[in-house]
Structure 1
């Protein structure tokens, strides 16, 4: 079965360069408002290990969908109004988390995302109008049902961004399935420069290697956020531990453990066990194969 023809046109949004001026301007504003730090990391979902935005979406969309069902039942006007108000109130923090993720996307994701956000903004306006009508004793159902259609269209675009364009997905998930279990040599210790990020390849998997004295740290090189090459990044220090910062979107990872220390990435890098045998550096990835 092929994709429905009307939906194939959504792919064209990815290459709609006419959206770039608006998308780029909004991105700049979001990045100026949401500076790197604890708040931005929370909005990205760093503390929970995956994007926060999809989880938060449940509140407004769940409230509005429930209101749509209650509107079919006589005498449920007050309950519907409460649900619609809940959805409107929760839309702002939900959108803020979405803006944080979107602002760190590539140009195709920005284009689809700006249309996604526009649809959601229109839906919030419709639901706000419906709530005002209900508080004045009117029905408000036409506006709320129209809002449900619009927010559903926006949600469809959100799904396109998440699953077709992989915004928010782990771009490093395949590594354990493409490496054989056991120890593998990646070269001699003497070849590694002290305090420098270097690239090595194990089979088809690129690795980033960092030497500090006789200690060698090895992570998967492809950034889990959007596939940036970590070996081209920079080394920083977090609580005394060396970290690598991705050159594309500034995600930070502990070189010892691979854990995220700074978003927008939410998934850790795969961290390899290392040992030096007869001057050769060997690596092993737990649970590989």
Structure 2
């Protein structure tokens, strides 16, 4: 399957998750600054809609001699499952829960239209 037109670029407001159907697949789409991300919308844990989840920047923590330091990476958006707060990278689909992920789809904008590639690769 090739690229599927999922709407006009202006239909995707910044830092807002939108639920779309493309090629029979439920997909969560989010514009984050100048990038648009798309992941399968069903959480692999218990099938909650990630498009109804919570967006935030990726957080990481590490122990230091003075305690715990938390870093926020504004360039790496994540979505948290609305049911159990499992976290998934919008860029890769990887979860912070080992062994779980959602499929991430390549997205590009052509002449003001958002296209998602549903094929392999």
- Please state whether the residue corresponding to 2:51 is helix, strand or coil: helix
Residue equivalent to 2:13: 193
Q: 1:217 is matched with which residue: 31, 37, 58? A: 37
Q: Distance in 2 between matches of 1:229 and 1:210?
A: 14
Q: Distance in 1 between matches of 2:99 and 2:24?
A: 24
Residue matched to 1:242: 77
Q: Secondary structure at the match of 1:190?
A: helix
Cα distance in 1 for residues equivalent to 2:80 and 2:89: 9
In 1, the alpha carbon distance for the partners of 2:119 and 2:92 equals 12
Partner of 2:65: none
Please tell me whether Structure 1 or Structure 2 has the larger radius of gyration of its CA atoms: 1
Higher helix share: 1
Please show how residues 136-285 of structure 1 align to structure 2 within 5 Å: 181-239=1-59, 240=73, 241-261=76-96, 263=97, 266-285=99-118
Work out which structure has the larger RCO, using CA pairs closer than 8 Å and 6 or more positions apart in sequence: 2
Displacement of 1:238? 1.4
The whole-number CA distance in structure 2 between the counterparts of 1:185 and 1:215 is 16
Unaligned segments of structure 1, at least 5 residues: 1-180
Alignment length (residue pairs): 106
Asked if the contact 1:243–1:253 (Cα under 8 Å) also holds between the matched residues in 2, the reply is: yes
Q: Which secondary structure does the structure 2 equivalent of 1:185 belong to?
A: strand
What's the Cα RMSD here?
1.6
The residue that corresponds to 1:32 in the other structure is: none
Give the TM-score, by structure 2 length: 0.80
CA–CA distance in structure 2, aligned partners of residues 227 and 266 of structure 1: 16
